[in-house]
Amino acid sequence: MALTAEAAPDAGKQEELKELRSRIQALQEELEQASEDKSEVTDALKNSERRISDVNRGLRDLEIKQRKLSQTLKQLIGDTQSTESEIAEQQKMLGELLREHYAQGGNDALKLMLNGQNPGDVARNIEYYGYIGRARAELIRQHRESLRQLHSLQEKTREQNSDLHQVKQERVSQKNTLEAEKGTRQQVLYKLSEQIRQQRKEIDTLVRDEKRLSRLIEKLARLAATPKSRPQVQPTAKSGQSVKAVADASLAGLNFPRLKGKLALPVAGEILNKFGQIREDGGPAWKGLFIRARQGREVHSVGSGKVAFADWLRGFGNLLIIDHGNGYLSLYSNNESLYKQPGDPVQAGDVVATVGSTGGQDEPGLYFELRHQGKPFDPLAWVR
């Protein structure tokens, strides 16, 4: 009788387990279909984040062009003011020459000779008035040239103002496009996050139930009642370390292996996750650093080399990989914008990207890795 009584709950548990497994199977099939839909949403996210990167790169180019136009315009205004001063001085000198000429009655060499003055005085007067005439003609020529230069400068100034206005209008248009793309990205991200969250949550709950039930059946079969101890959570590395000094051009001349002990990180911010740290969700340990930083902050290359990869990659968003030679690579992911293209040479300290939250990140920051011969190693072991 004891065995029969014990077998009854065991049979009931087996039936319950069978039902649970059936529900899990059905949900997994639904999840598989949702995952296919997720791929389409991921493609939309990829395209949106690529467009945001392109627009930001275009905005940066327009900003550089605007600065150059402003500098040229400033130079033109200075040249115009100098030319106007020259014209004013020339007009003053011409006025003095004319006043002097008319004060003397407009005498010329022929009139002096007819008046019967001393021939020596006449010769001197002829030479003097010849000099005055030549000086007047040269001054008039200079005055005309100055007026021509002023007209040219004014025309160039109008052209520069027109170009500057056009660039400013284009920047406004690009910014509006950027805001629209960011809005699209947020919608896609929300859809991507919510699309399978509920199903995954239910499956996780059922799987945990199945494990607990399986353990209970095993215990009933062995008539063992002592529960297994729960695994201890492994301690994680200390986070919250701030980064202030970032990579600059001072290390541009060094081969990458010589940067050990001198390396500066690519962006200023706060290190939230370190190399080797256990993830909270139980996933694989971190293979690099996640540095929380302000959206749009500049990301610098930690060493000289050549861009090996610059594109959107699932799970990493806008990703940039730099080949430093000797088997060393540096990886910068979750960027908002990529400023370099594959094959571009870079120097230590070059701005190569800006901080973002692409690839599905919840907050802006940079995920940064260093690898040698394909194997990741701790960047902090190289930091000065």
Domain containing residue 334: CATH number: 2.70.70.10
The reply to whether 235 falls in a domain is no
Domain count of the chain?
2
Q: Are 350 and 376 in contact (CB under 8 A)?
A: no
- Domain with 289, as residue range(s), is 241-381
We report the CATH number of the domain holding residue 168 as 1.10.287.2610
Q: Mark whether 112 and 185 lie in a shared domain.
A: yes
Q: Mark whether 210 and 74 lie in a shared domain.
A: yes
pLDDT value of position 59: 76
Q: Mark whether 274 and 362 lie in a shared domain.
A: yes
The reply to whether 205 falls in a domain is yes
The reply to whether 44 falls in a domain is yes
Tell which residue, 303, 367, 309, has the closest CA to residue 335.
367
pLDDT value of position 377: 94
Is the dihedral angle over the CA atoms 315, 375, 350, 243 positive or is it negative? positive
Q: Mark whether 221 and 315 lie in a shared domain.
A: no
pLDDT value of position 308: 86
pLDDT in tens, 228-241: 333 333 333 344 56
The reply to whether 93 falls in a domain is yes
pLDDT value of position 334: 94
DSSP state of 204: H
Last residue of a domain, one of 167, 200, 230: 230
pLDDT value of position 373: 84
Quote helix, strand, coil % in the chain, to nearest 5.
60, 15, 25
pLDDT value of position 223: 42
Structure tokens at 107: 């005498």
Could you say which residues of the chain have pLDDT below 50?
1-8, 109-110, 112-114, 116, 122, 213, 216-217, 220-239
pLDDT value of position 200: 66
Q: Are 208 and 19 in contact (CB under 8 A)?
A: no
Tell which residue, 281, 370, 376, 261, has the closest CA to residue 323.
370
The reply to whether 253 falls in a domain is yes
Structure tokens at 280: 């909270």
Q: Mark whether 199 and 253 lie in a shared domain.
A: no
pLDDT value of position 265: 94
The reply to whether 152 falls in a domain is yes
Q: Mark whether 148 and 121 lie in a shared domain.
A: yes
Q: Are 18 and 209 in contact (CB under 8 A)?
A: no
